[in-house]
Amino acid sequence: MDRYAGKPFLRLVECYVLEAIGQLDEAQRDSLREMEPKLRNLYGVQGSWIEIVSSQMEFPPSLPAQIKEIWEKGLVRATEQGMQVDPNEFAMAFVDKNFPA
């Protein structure tokens, strides 16, 4: 089953999380910037893709810092246990837990 079938905005929210933790790759960031005019038209909101996602989800300005803090604490715990954390898996899990569809 495709995670994003019928839920294209879901990937945007995950990218928002990746951006907040400093793990959004440059190619994805460029693609999102190229999508901004379509997103502005679709959602009737001006601004960057990040601002559009924030507006649509009604995220507080403090959310990126909160997400980054959770990510960093998780990294410390994982490192202490000899584990690695995949940023994309973190983003998916974070979105699933905090913004269930």
Domain ranges of the chain: 8-98
User: Is 29 in a helix, a strand, or coil?
Assistant: helix
Q: Where are the alpha helices (DSSP H) in the chain?
A: 8-20, 26-43, 49-57, 63-80, 87-98
The dihedrals phi and psi of 64, each to the nearest 5 degrees, come to -55, -40
pTM comes to 0.93
User: What is the model's pLDDT at position 8?
Assistant: 85
The pLDDT tens digits for 25-55 are: 999 999 999 999 999 999 999 999 999 999 9
